[in-house]
Structure 1
Amino acid sequence: MNSQKNTIIALLVILMLIAMPAAAAADGVQGVTIQAGKNTPAPDDDGAGAQQPPADAPGVQNQSQAGVLQQIRDQDQTRTCPPGTACNASELRQMIAEREQQINAGEGQQIREANTARLAVHAFAVAAPLMGNSSQAMLGIAEQVNTSAQVALRAEEQIQNRNTIMRALFGGDAGAAGVLQQEAVANQERITEMNRLIEECGDCDPETREILREQVALLEQEQLRLREVAREEMEQTGLFGWIFR
């Protein structure tokens, strides 16, 4: 009997000796798992990853704006500018102002309004180095608007010079008014294309783009004025003008 007890005790001791290393190994794995779960920085991270400022923070925005300005300055320094053209937006604005004074000097109101197209052609010509690949297409459209403006100017002069008796009897000059309407419609399509070219101008900096938009806006105002002149002329029917309308 004692022999059996001794045998059982010996077996229990052996089982305990076998189980202890396995339990110790399990505890080691659990400790590693818990340790790995901690939010520790990578060896070469120094904890900086968790401290990144948001992209819209004031400091980040200032750095971004400074980078854009530096890029514009670098472009100005490397840009090739033929004589009579602008190398940056400040020169462009100054050259437009000087040209405006020249073409408007001593002109009447009607001529000054027609000169809007001439000024736009000049603006897009001197802005060529700032517009890159878009410059030729823009200048071509501006020249079409300028040609149209000369046609509209002659039609408007014809309206203003219409004989008073003819106006009283037969009303306004419907033919000249029709020319004004036609040119205004065609120019509005050209203006739409000019706005598209400005928006898609990858070489234009923000200030240059704004200056060009101003010129196109003036052209658009002129088309509205021509439409109004044409409308008023068409409304004058005279005593017998209704017969020919």
Structure 2
Amino acid sequence: MRSILKRRVILAAMAGVCDGDFCLRAARAGAGMVTLGGLNFDEKTALAGEMMKKRGRREFEVKLDLLEEFLRDEVSKALRGGAPVAVNVRAATLRGILFAGELVSRSGAKVLEIDAHCRQPEMVAAGAGQALLNRLEVLSEWIARLKEAFNIKVILKWRGNVVDDLAVANMAKNAGVDAIHVDAMKSGVENGDLELIRRISENIDVFLIGNNSVRDVNSAIKMLNAGADAVSIARAALNDPSIVGKIALSLEKNIMKR
């Protein structure tokens, strides 16, 4: 995974926000990688996304038969920024995840990110997002099948402190994942659960992207010092995606001075 990242700060997916133009702005500013999506790749997640949008959530509402064209166009836009592109994928079925693998691998993106992170009730009820953390054998099969069938990097993203995080990380590593992306969220902890990042880093030998409360160079350094190999930014970039690149470049300069 390290070989494809331009820098150690990446733009995380935000549904209904991270389209090609948004990713392009982050990439041009210096982001190490940008993530398109999340996008829904089967009937169950598409329906869940429609329901979420009806109650006011931001969503990419793309028909399944139009996903290939959408991906091709949006990835092409994002790639003009010079950073590698990942696609955050929601699926509830093996058919959906393999459909995603096929389309992502043809889109120009280098990375498919499996979303085991979304906790919206509709997505969980569909068996996708965070619900997948209770189906580790399914996630293991998905990772292995994607790596076997397609020439793409695979990331597993999930929210920490929901299930046994070491078990999830170990499963992902054994299945052949290229990186794990952990939202180090913990109730009552304002700046991310750095101890969780440290615990995973010390126990599981896998490329680790740390997420949660990274909003400037100092918070990025804290996450990296806890053991993350890279960090991702989402909410802090909502109004200005170029902040991802600015932090990435500032971090690079800070490290070079040491």
- Which TM-score band (shorter chain)? under 0.3
- Normalized per residue, which structure has more strand? 2
Structure (1 or 2) with the greater helix fraction: 1
Q: Which of structures 1 and 2 has the larger relative contact order (alpha carbons within 8 angstroms, sep 6+)?
A: 2
Using the size of structure 2 for normalisation, the TM-score is 0.22
TM-score relative to the length of structure 1: 0.23
